[in-house]
Amino acid sequence: MNAPSVAAVLAAGCPEAPPPQWLDTCRSTNEIALARLAAGAPHGTLVGAGEQTAGRGRHGRPWHSPAGLGLYASLVVRGTAPLETPTLLVAAAGLGVAEGAERASGTPCRVKWPNDVWCDESKLAGILVETRGFDPARPAFVVGFGVNVNHGRTDFPPDVAARATSLALRTGRRHELQAVLAAILQALLPRIGRAMRADRAAAALLERDYRARSLVLGRRVSLTVGGERVVGVVEDVSPSAGLALRTDSSAGVVRIRAEHVSEVRLEPTR
Ligand code: BTN
């Protein structure tokens, strides 16, 4: 049986969404989706592109987006109830992208708190959730995701090459971008829908599934928090409460929230 198309998956998961928009090239799909959000676009509005000329990542970093190699897409997300914290949405998005990329390729994918999807020790995908002034009672965001699909070793910029991977590098074969996007949406739409409904049972499920797929839980990491480096072992990771880190210092176990962290590095165990 043929895999379902992106349009079919979107129509099934978000009946109120317009047909997906696919561009050959653009500056940033998040930029376009934010403009559509501001213009009142409904939940599930999807913008994807074959190339981005000004793709952006977290903390103002660029997201290198060469033509035809990666998946660059942004989804308008609207909720009907106040969201406890946007980190729930970020976690739901990361989990959905990891599950979908794994399903499409067969390569195991884990969530690297707070915003990444990694395969073993290398980054496969990043999530960028953005918004512009909205009514807190009716939360609205753009969820952007960039997935390295058909990149070879030399297709990454030198500063990220050492810790980046792609589905092609992991599996030894090329992958069809639209098929990967359809698989990701199949996992992502229900995860995001549940996060935006903000009910307790859905939040508990997210906490459990996120921990089960976490790369950093039980690992030694170093974090950059407000410009300072903190090193320790991750005792817990939670979409709502952040990391519980047993630090090397006399501080003992500290809670660290995603909003304050600009970098998370895996460290060798001692
Ligand atoms: C990160 O790891 O820092 C997040 C990267 C997010 C990149 C995606 S690609 C599609 C969407 N459009 C953008 O400009 N950024 C996101």
Measured in Å, residue 88 CA sits from the centre of ligand 1 at 18
Cβ(213)–Cβ(112) under 8 Å? no
Length of the chain: 270
Q: Is pLDDT of 1 > 60?
A: no
Q: Is pLDDT of 225 > 70?
A: yes
Q: Is pLDDT of 52 > 80?
A: yes
The residues, ordered by sequence, that sit 6+ positions from 178 with a Cβ below 8 Å of its Cβ are: 5, 6
Q: How many Å separate Cα 113 from the centre of its chain?
A: 10
For the beta carbon of residue 88, count every other beta carbon within 10 angstroms. 23
Peptide bond preceding 114: is omega within 30 degrees of 0, i.e. cis? yes
Q: Please choose, from the candidates 146, 141, 184, 189, the residue with its C-alpha nearest in 3D space to the C-alpha of residue 41.
A: 141
Q: What are the pocket residues of ligand 1 if the criterion is a CB atom closer than 6 Å to any ligand atom? A: 28-30, 52, 55-58, 61, 63, 72-74, 115-116, 126-128, 144-146
CA 120 vs CA 26, 32, 251: distances in Å: 31, 33, 30
Q: What's the chain's average pLDDT? A: 94
Q: Please name the residue whose Cα sits nearest to atom 9 of ligand 1.
A: 146
**Ligand 1 atom closest to residue 61's alpha carbon, by position in its atom list:** 3
Measured in Å, residue 194 CA sits from the centre of ligand 1 at 22
Report which of residues 53 and 81 the model is more confident about.
Answer: 53
pTM of this prediction?
Answer: 0.96
Q: Which residue has the tokens 């918004």?
A: 131
